[in-house]
Amino acid sequence: MHHNKGMVNALRKPYVIFVGEEQSPVYTKTGSGIAHWDPSSCVGQIRLSSDAADLGLPDMSLDEAIAAGAKTLVIGIAVVGGAIPTPMRSVIHEALSRGVDVASGTHDRLADDPEFAGAAAASGARITDVRVPPPGLPVGKGVKRTGKRVLTVGTDCALGKKYTALALAKEMTARGMDATFRATGQTGILISGSGVPIDAVVADFVSGAAETLSPDAPETHWDVIEGQGAILHPGYAAVSMGLLMGSQPDAIVVCTDATRTTIAGWPDFPLPSIQEVIDLTLRIGSVVNPAIRVVGISANTSALSESEREQYLARLSEEHGVPAVDSVATGVGPIVDVLQQ
C-alpha cells in the first residue's frame, strides 16, 4: 500500500471495533464515528459486557472477527485518564499475538507498553497510535500546490467541522466529483485510514503538516480538509491558524452552533460572530491563497424546531450571501452546488 510521507501510516482495513465494557455513548464516539461513516470497513464489534454501548455492528469474539477477516482491532473508546482498562488488555494482547494490528486514538501510547510491544514484535503485527504524528514533518513553505482545497472552520470547537467535512466529501463523491477527505484528528484518521493528528504536532510544524496532508493533485481534484479548533478560540487558535496557512484553501465552510452564545468551556468568552470568523479567515488565508472565498455555512440546529431551523438558516444565508445548511438535518447539497460552479 502506498504511504504518503508524513501521513500516519495507512491503517489496514477491515476493522473490528473494540468497545470493552464502556457503557457511555460519550466515550464511544470514536467507535460510533467509524461505524457511522465507514460501516463497510467494519466486520463487527467486540463488547466485553452486554451492558456495553452498542455501535450497531455485529457482536463477535476475537476468534470470529479474525475468521471474518479483520485486519485491525480498533480501540473504539476514549479512556478518561488514559490507561487502558485491565479487562481490555488481554484481548489487545491476544490480537497482537495472533498478527492482528491494533490502532488506538487514546493519549496513552500502546506502542510504549512493553507487554503489547513484545507481542507485536513476536508476531509482526503493527501498533498504530493515531495520536502520534509522523516523524520528519517540515516547516510550511507556503508554496501554492496544484488541485483544489476546501477547509471547514468554526466559531468554536465541537460543533461539526469533522461531520461537515465528511458529509461534503461523501456528497461530492456521490456526484462524481474527484474528492478526498483529509483527516486531522484521531477519529477522522480512523475513519479515512490515514491522516495527521494536527493537535499533537509541534507548533512550528503545523502548517508544514497541513501541506503534507494535502499534496499536489490534479486541477479538478478537491481535498476536503477537516478543521480543528477555531481561529478566535482562547485555547486552540494556534492549531487553526497553522492548519489555515498550510491548507491554503480555495474555499472555506464556516461551522457554528445555532444556540451557543459563549465558547464551550470558556464561559467568559462570547461566541464570535460568523462574519468575524469569515473576515479574519479570508484575511489570513489570502496571504497564501488570494483566491480564498467562503462557500457556505454549516450550523448545528439540533436544538431548534423545524420552523425555527428554516428561518434561522434562511436568515444566515441572506446575511452572508452563501448557502446555510445543517449537515445532518438538511445535508450539504447547496454548498456542493457552489463548489461545482
CATH number of the domain that residue 87 is part of? 3.40.50.720
Q: Which of 95, 129, 163 is the last residue of a domain?
A: 129
Residue 239 included in any domain = yes
d(CA 178, CA 253): 18
Give the chain's largest Cα–Cα span.
62
Domain final residue, candidates 129, 159, 178: 129
CB-based contact 226:181 (threshold 8 Å): yes
Distance between CA 168 and CA 331 in Å, rounded?
9
User: How far apart (Å, rounded) are the C-alpha atoms in residues 98 and 294?
Assistant: 49
> Do 297 and 239 belong to one domain?
yes
The residue among 319, 273, 38, 73 whose CA lies nearest residue 155 is: 273
Query: Are residues 205 and 249 both part of a single domain?
Result: yes
For residue 143, being part of any structural domain is answered with no
Length of the chain: 341
Question: Is 140 a domain residue?
Answer: no
Strand order in the sheet with 222-225: 179-182, 222-225, 148-154, 251-257, 293-300, 324-325
Same domain, 107 and 222: no
Assigned domain for 138 exists: no
Choose one of 129, 156, 183: the last residue of a domain. 129
Give the C-alpha separation, 148 to 106, whole Å: 32
Same domain, 192 and 99: no
Cell digits for 188? 477522522
- Number of structural domains (the chain) is 2
Residue 3: the pLDDT is 41
96 inside domain? yes
| pTM score of the predicted model | 0.92
What are the residues facing 224 on neighbouring strands?
Answer: 150, 181
Q: Do 292 and 158 sit in the same domain of this protein?
A: yes
pLDDT at position 83 is: 77
Domain contains 6: no
240 and 324 together in one domain: yes
**Predicted confidence pLDDT, tens digits, the chain (341 residues):** 334 456 767 899 999 999 999 998 888 989 999 999 999 999 999 999 999 999 999 999 999 999 999 999 999 998 766 678 889 999 999 999 999 999 998 878 899 999 999 999 999 999 999 999 988 999 999 999 999 999 999 999 999 999 999 999 999 999 999 999 999 999 999 999 999 999 999 999 999 999 999 999 999 999 999 999 999 999 999 999 999 999 999 999 999 999 999 999 999 999 999 999 999 999 999 999 999 999 999 999 999 999 999 999 999 999 999 999 999 999 999 999 999 99
Structural domain contains residue 9: no
Q: Which CATH number fits the domain that encloses residue 257? A: 3.40.50.300
Q: Where are the alpha helices (DSSP H) in 99-185?
A: 114-123, 161-174
State the residue range of the domain holding 122: 15-129
| Whether residue 172 is found in the same domain as residue 215 | yes
Dist CA 208 CA 221 (whole Å): 20
252: left (phi over 0), alpha (psi -120 to 50) or beta: beta
Q: Are residues 122 and 171 in the same domain?
A: no
Quick check: is 253 in a domain? Answer: yes
By the 8 A CB rule, do 234 and 265 touch?
no
